[in-house]
Amino acid sequence: MKVNKFLADSAHDAYPFYELCEFWGIEPFIDLNSKGKGNFKDLPSVSVNEFGIPICPKGYAMCFCGFNKSRSRLKWRCPLKAGSRRLRKNISCDCPCSDSPYGCTVYTKPQDDLRIFTKTPRDSKAWRKVYAMRSSSERSFKRIKNDYEIERCRVRSRKNWYFFIHFAAMNCHLDSWVAKAEKEHFDIWAEVLGKALAA
C-alpha cells in the first residue's frame, strides 16, 4: 500500500513536513497557518499571493494550466487568455503584457518553496476538493477518542494501545455497516449469523 496524499490541518504547516513528504513521494495538502501566510523560505522570482498563485502585472491572479511532471513545475497563463468566460468579463486590461495570442506564461517550481508552490495549486477547486476529505478522518478520530473513550484508557504499553485503537476502528466500521443496512432495510444480522440464529 502506497500513501500518495497527506491531508493535515494548519498545525502541520512547517517546512519539515513538506520536505518529508517530498522525500517519500507524497503530495501534501496542508492548510496554511494564519500566522505564516505570505512568508516564503526563498523569495520567488515572480509576484505571488498568499496561496502561491502568480499575479500578473495588472494585479490579477493567473490561471493554472497543469503540472509538468518531467520538469516538476506548474504552468500559469494570462487570465485574460486562459480564464473562463465569466472570469474574462471581470478583467479590464487595455495594455496586455504579451503580444502573443497565447498570452503571458509563468512557471513556478515546488522546489523553490515546497510550502507555497504545491503540485495541486492552493485555493484551487481541485485542492479544496481533496482537502474536504479530511473532515471524514476528523469524524473518525472523534468516534475513536470520545465515543469509544480511548482517551480514558489506563494502559501504558504500545501493544495495548494498538489493540484498543484497532478494536475501536473495527467497531466504527461495523457501525457504518449496520447504519447502512438499516437505511436500506437489510437484515444484516440474518446475513452475518445465518437466518436460523438471527430468528
Each of the 199 residues of the chain gets a pLDDT tens digit; together they read 788 999 988 888 888 999 999 999 999 999 888 776 555 554 445 677 777 788 887 778 888 888 888 887 888 888 877 777 777 777 777 777 777 778 788 888 877 778 888 888 887 888 889 988 888 777 888 888 888 888 787 778 888 888 888 888 888 888 888 888 888 877 777 777 765 555 5
d(CA 131, CA 126): 9
Q: Phi/psi at 163 (nearest 5 deg)?
A: -65, -45
Please name the residue that has the C-alpha cell 515546488: 110
Contact 102, 81 (CB under 8 A): yes
Task: Convert the pLDDT of each residue in 38-49 to its tens digit.
Answer: 555 544 456 777
What is the pLDDT, as a whole number, of residue 21?
92
* Three cell numbers written together for 150: 480511548
Domain extent listing, the chain: 5-132, 135-198
Mention every residue, 6+ apart, whose C-beta is less than 8 A from residue 119.
27, 67, 74, 110
Measured in whole angstroms, the distance separating CA 33 from the mean position of its chain's CA atoms is 14
What is the pLDDT, as a whole number, of residue 40?
54
Q: Phi/psi at 75 (nearest 5 deg)?
A: -105, 135
Tell me the HSE value of 120 on the side-chain side, using a 13 A CA sphere: 19
Please name the residue that has the C-alpha cell 484551487: 124
pTM tops 0.75: no
What is the pLDDT, as a whole number, of residue 149?
81
Backbone Cα Rg of the chain: 24
What is the pLDDT, as a whole number, of residue 43?
46
